[in-house]
Amino acid sequence: MSDSARRELRPAGLSRRRFFGLAGAGTAGVIAAGAAGGVIGRATAEEPATSAATAAAAATEAVPFTGAHQAGIVTPAQDRLHFVAFDVITDDRAELVAMLQAWTAAARRMTAGQDAGEVGAVDGGQYAVPDDTGEALDLPASGLTLTVGFGPTLFTTDDGVDRFGLAARRPAPLTELPAFRGDAIDPAISGGDLCVQACANDPQVAVHAIRNLVRLGAGVVSVRWSQLGFGRTSSTSSGQATPRNLFGFKDGTDNLKAESPKALDQFVWVTDGDPGADWLAGGSYVVTRKIRMRIEPWDTSTLAEQEQTIGRTKKAGAPLGQRDEFDPVDFTKQVDGDFAIPQTSHVFLAHPTNSGTAILRRGYSFVDGSDGLGRLAAGLFFIAYQRDPATGFVQVQQNLRTDAMNEYIQHTSSAVFACPPGITGDDDWWGRALFS
């Protein structure tokens, strides 16, 4: 449809961005309901993949903001990320609550493709301060999701101060992650009292959302650190093709998927009876790790060494000893008297069969320019959701002590947050159950 035709369809006085947002909000619920009805099978020769035109249209649509769980966890992973961690700089509980309420209202609008404020970027008059920064004018919702989390230091500061009367409500699993062998953690880009994960299919939409939340939080929070990401490195839906990471390998083939509710209940969602479930049931814990990839040494390694390090073929993504990506991982299969999948490979050590657990990954690649030696400052911004970090990420990471991939990576930042359940009504707001 031409732009002139779209202008004829939308009501007078309604901006293009708001028109697309409202249109997307009307169709996304149908898509979500269809996905929930059963497992979405992968495309086959008899069942063609979604057309490019349909896929492009879906990338602009709105994702429903309300639901039992926050959007942005099992939502099909979008292409772009802007993740930010905040320090709370006020000791006034009422100010923090008011900000969370304002954030929720703005998030509800922006995820629908609307301006952050009721007036918007240009409709308040020449002498009024706009309540939206304007860089997303004329852009559709682009699948924007905003996911919030609360860090351990929101409940009790590092020196033991309970600023907001929340210490007794901190769930036992919400603790700082332990040190792991090989870590080079920079405190300046780790931790935080709050976090917001913005994912979208347009980088400007994601950045716009974070920028406006920062603006609304002035005087209450300050940005501690942030990270931009591109090119999702995992699939969170069986309808998505498996992406490749910066090492050139398909990543996340066996990741948990939105279409596996029993596995999500077991490994991702906090449920009744879990610590902190009085306010966190239906939520999850997110672990973030910035992982520097040593691109230059990797690029001088032979293909055979790369595949032995990962445990999969580079072209097809098949487990070593198999032919296709989704062939079963067989750790007993041998080739010429040796195990096809080396016991020091990443697949061998991280696979649920050997790690004894599973996590929902939705990380992103990053390139932060180059370092002082001319090497790419690039890697993986790892994001993982789980029911309990101790039996999720920590258990997996401890199992990776002998991972051959450790030669090519280094973890440089670390954080953990408790993500509350979803927004359930017009009067609900992020953290209401926690602060009630």
Q: What is the pLDDT of residue 275?
A: 87
Q: Please tell me whether residues 127 and 221 are part of one structural domain.
A: yes
Is 360:222 a contact under the CB 8 Å cutoff?
Answer: no
| Residues 182-222 pLDDT 10s | 999 999 999 999 999 999 999 999 999 999 999 999 999 99
Across 314-322, average pLDDT? 97
Calpha distance 89→315 (Å, rounded): 49
| Residues 117-163 pLDDT 10s | 999 999 999 999 999 999 999 999 999 999 999 999 999 999 999 99
Q: What is the pLDDT of residue 49?
A: 46
Please identify, among 178, 201, 232, the residue that sits at the C-terminal boundary of a domain. Answer: 232
Q: Please tell me whether residues 406 and 369 are part of one structural domain.
A: yes
Question: Is residue 430 domain-resident?
Answer: no
Residue 19 pLDDT more than 50? no
Q: Please tell me whether residues 334 and 372 are part of one structural domain.
A: yes
Q: What is the pLDDT of residue 24?
A: 40
Question: Is residue 163 domain-resident?
Answer: no
Residue 431 backbone zone (phi > 0: left; psi -120 to 50: alpha; other: beta): left
State the pLDDT confidence band at 58, using cuts at 50, 70 and 90.
confident
Q: What is the pLDDT of residue 20?
A: 43
Q: Please tell me whether residues 312 and 382 are part of one structural domain.
A: yes
State the pLDDT confidence band at 50, using cuts at 50, 70 and 90.
low
Question: Is residue 210 domain-resident?
Answer: yes
Please identify, among 204, 232, 260, the residue that sits at the C-terminal boundary of a domain. Answer: 232
Q: What is the pLDDT of residue 55?
A: 65
Residue 41 pLDDT more than 70? no
3-class secondary-structure state, position 339: strand
Q: When comparing pLDDT for 11 and 181, which is higher? A: 181
Residue 37 pLDDT more than 50? no
Q: Please tell me whether residues 399 and 271 are part of one structural domain.
A: yes
Question: Is residue 185 domain-resident?
Answer: no
Q: Please tell me whether residues 123 and 255 are part of one structural domain.
A: no
Residue 5 pLDDT more than 50? no
Say which residues have a Cβ less than 8 Å from residue 424's Cβ, sequence separation at least 6: 66, 67, 68
3-class secondary-structure state, position 21: helix
Residue owning tokens 């440089």: 412
Q: Please tell me whether residues 257 and 391 are part of one structural domain.
A: yes
Residue 252 pLDDT more than 90? no
Q: Please tell me whether residues 101 and 212 are part of one structural domain.
A: yes
Domain of residue 282 covers 249-423
Q: Please tell me whether residues 305 and 351 are part of one structural domain.
A: yes
pTM listed for this prediction: 0.88
Q: When comparing pLDDT for 395 and 46, which is higher? A: 395
Calpha distance 278→330 (Å, rounded): 41
Is 116:123 a contact under the CB 8 Å cutoff?
Answer: no
Residue 109 backbone zone (phi > 0: left; psi -120 to 50: alpha; other: beta): alpha
Q: CATH code at 301?
A: 3.30.70.1030
| Residues 361-383 pLDDT 10s | 999 999 999 998 999 999 999 99
Question: Is residue 337 domain-resident?
Answer: yes
| Counted domains in the chain | 2
Short-list 78, 39, 77, 82, CA closest to 262: 39
Percent of the chain clearing pLDDT 90 (strictly above)? 84
Q: Please tell me whether residues 130 and 271 are part of one structural domain.
A: no
Residue 28 pLDDT more than 60? no
CA dist 427 → 66, 101, 108 (Å): 11, 9, 12
Question: Is residue 384 domain-resident?
Answer: yes
Question: Is residue 238 domain-resident?
Answer: no
Q: Please tell me whether residues 307 and 358 are part of one structural domain.
A: yes
Is 404:345 a contact under the CB 8 Å cutoff?
Answer: yes
Please identify, among 200, 232, 264, the residue that sits at the C-terminal boundary of a domain. Answer: 232
Residue 181 pLDDT more than 90? yes
**230 CB burial (10 A radius; 0-12, 13-18, 19+):** middle
Q: What is the pLDDT of residue 276?
A: 82
Q: What is the pLDDT of residue 277?
A: 87
Quote the mean pLDDT of the chain: 89
271-282 exposure pattern, b = at least 16 Cβ within 10 A, e = fewer: eeebebeebbbb
Q: When comparing pLDDT for 48 and 66, which is higher? A: 66
Residue 26 pLDDT more than 90? no
Q: Please tell me whether residues 336 and 397 are part of one structural domain.
A: yes
Across 275-285, average pLDDT? 94
Task: Identify the weakest region by mean pLDDT among 40-44, 84-88, 329-333, 371-375.
Answer: 40-44
Helix (H) or strand (E) holding 86: strand 80-88
Q: What is the pLDDT of residue 54?
A: 64
Question: Is residue 223 domain-resident?
Answer: yes
